């Protein structure tokens, strides 16, 4: 349940119906499965990471153990950016939902929402009991509320909405499309790689007592997510087939869910508002707790008083609110984070294999930054030398739902480019070390197993794990 709520936010009411109105059933199914099924990766990778770094509780702790301090700081930087962008998207979604449903200005609601939530985040009772424990407990309570409210809203929408059969065929939403086929690749890459940098997922992964409990958790979360997202996504189809969307005057597909609600009784709108605020509070709380753990553990190694760390995260909310009220698109915020993670994760996960002991922090950082550069190079080629549009491609300026291959090419260039740059860096490092060893007439040991690897192979218990990084920096 905790993992399910950590994966949700009020932004789902915009993004999923919007994609359904654009890519139809094909996009609806792809987006739903691409969101839920990647959670299962924590059942595979989680036990591996926990065995290799039993004292950790976030991904960056394993990164420090495997690659060293430089790589850990870099991954921490990417993690904080990811959490920051998700917090921006969450508050932006809350403001837009309130504006769409009530016509009120979303800014005061965002401020009140954050003040009330922060008031339960700072008190000494919260700290005394334990922030993460409280977060998990509230996630369970809020998760039950979300499930109940979702199914109530689904029943009411099903009863009150009248489908026009003539609109089903004319809408074209049952047909496949170029974008629909592109999304079969783009969405799994986006969401799978981005999940690695959501520390809220790793907190719950490390909190599982056994691997069996972890598998039960991720499997349950995946099933619940499929159910919830299927109901939410289907509102795009219902809005189109009932005539509520595109409306008069026509509106963007992101408003499909709210155009449909305008035909519902006012008490249904109230239920949805409660659901939105519940989702937002829980999701933001998980993101906030994850940012606290990342900053405290990765930057200060838990030496700084937790009061100061929590206060710094509260202060970070101020620029988050400022950006959220001006955010042009919730989906674009997600995509910026997705592109960055797609450049980093391929080089990061190579270190999970004991056979790749020669893969170090130099390859990880070079590969990740090289992936970003590769996207820019692809943009320059695709846009025939227009560097401005290539730069905008790094921010996914034109969104995901274009009628060309720019977004698809960017998400191909990111992981492929990062691996090419990473192995290029490996070749450079080994070549330099080989020449140095030859000139100094000594054994070339760069590709040999390190003593730490031998210890890990022979002794798998937590007491035998060394805290020294395995990766060899240049």
pLDDT score of 285: 77
pLDDT score of 154: 80
pLDDT score of 454: 38
Contact 231, 155 (CB under 8 A): no
pLDDT score of 137: 64
Q: What is the CA radius of gyration of the chain?
A: 23
Distance of alpha carbon 284 from alpha carbon 357, whole angstroms: 37
> 2-326 sits in which CATH class?
mainly alpha
Percent of the chain residues past pLDDT 90, beyond the cut:
34
Helices (DSSP H) in 325-405: which residue ranges?
A: 330-349, 361-382, 387-394
pLDDT digit string, tens, across residues 111-129? 887 776 665 555 433 444 4
pLDDT digit string, tens, across residues 385-420? 999 999 999 888 877 777 789 999 999 999 999 999
Residue 39 has pLDDT above 70, yes or no: yes
- For the CA atoms of 212, 213, 214, 216, the dihedral, rounded to the nearest 10 degrees, stands at 90
Domain borders along the chain are: 2-326, 328-474
Q: How far is CA 23 from CA 16, 31, 182, 254, 472, in A?
A: 11, 10, 10, 13, 46
pLDDT score of 155: 83
Q: Is 290 left (phi over 0), alpha (psi -120 to 50) or beta?
A: alpha
Mean pLDDT of 184-200: 89
Say which residue, 294 or 380, is predicted with more confidence.
Answer: 380
Distance of alpha carbon 69 from alpha carbon 56, whole angstroms: 15
């Amino acid at each position: 349940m905790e993992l399910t709520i950590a994966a949700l936010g009020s932004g789902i009411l915009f993004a999923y119906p919007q994609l359904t109105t654009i890519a139809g059933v094909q996009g609806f199914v792809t987006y739903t499965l691409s969101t839920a099924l990647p959670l299962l990766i924590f059942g595979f990778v989680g036990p591996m990471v926990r065995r290799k770094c039993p004292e950790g509780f976030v991904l960056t702790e394993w990164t420090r153990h495997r690659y060293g301090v430089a790589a850990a700081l870099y991954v921490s930087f990417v993690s904080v950016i990811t959490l920051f962008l998700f917090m921006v998207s969450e508050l932006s979604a809350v403001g837009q939902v309130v504006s769409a449903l009530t016509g009120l200005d979303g800014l005061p609601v965002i401020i009140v929402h954050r003040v009330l939530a922060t008031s339960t985040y700072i008190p000494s009772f919260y700290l005394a009991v334990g922030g993460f424990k409280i977060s998990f407990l509230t996630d369970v309570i809020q998760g039950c509320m979300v499930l109940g409210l979702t199914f109530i809203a689904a029943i009411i929408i099903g009863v009150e909405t009248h489908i026009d059969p003539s609109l089903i065929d004319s809408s074209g939403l049952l047909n496949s499309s170029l974008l629909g086929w592109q999304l079969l690749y783009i969405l799994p890459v986006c969401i799978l790689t981005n999940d690695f940098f959501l520390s809220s997922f790793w907190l719950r992964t490390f909190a599982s007592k056994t691997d069996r409990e972890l598998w039960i958790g991720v499997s349950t979360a995946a099933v619940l997510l499929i159910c919830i997202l299927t109901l939410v996504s289907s509102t795009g189809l219902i809005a189109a087939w009932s005539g509520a969307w595109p409306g008069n005057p026509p509106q963007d597909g992101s408003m499909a869910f709210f155009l449909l609600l305008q035909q519902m009784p006012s008490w249904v709108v109230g239920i949805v508002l409660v659901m939105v605020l519940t989702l937002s509070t829980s999701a933001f709380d998980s993101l906030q707790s994850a940012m606290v753990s990342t900053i405290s553990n990765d930057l200060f190694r838990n030496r700084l008083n937790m009061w100061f760390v929590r206060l710094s995260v509260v202060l970070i909310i101020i620029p988050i609110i400022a950006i959220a009220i001006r955010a042009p698109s919730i989906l674009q915020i997600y995509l910026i984070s997705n592109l960055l993670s797609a450049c980093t994760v391929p080089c990061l996960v190579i270190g999970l294999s004991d056979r790749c002991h020669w893969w170090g922090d130099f390859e990880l950082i070079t590969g990740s930054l090289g992936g970003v550069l590769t996207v820019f190079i692809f943009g320059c080629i695709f846009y025939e030398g227009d560097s401005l549009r290539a730069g905008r491609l790094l921010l996914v300026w034109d969104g995901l739902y274009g009628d060309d291959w720019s977004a698809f090419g960017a998400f191909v260039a990111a992981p492929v480019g990062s691996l090419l740059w990473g192995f290029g860096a490996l070749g450079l490092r080994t070549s330099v070390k080989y020449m140095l060893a030859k000139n100094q007439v000594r054994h070339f040991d760069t590709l040999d197993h390190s003593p730490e690897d031998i210890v890990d192979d022979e002794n798998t218990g937590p007491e035998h794990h060394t805290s020294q990084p395995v990766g060899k920096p240049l």
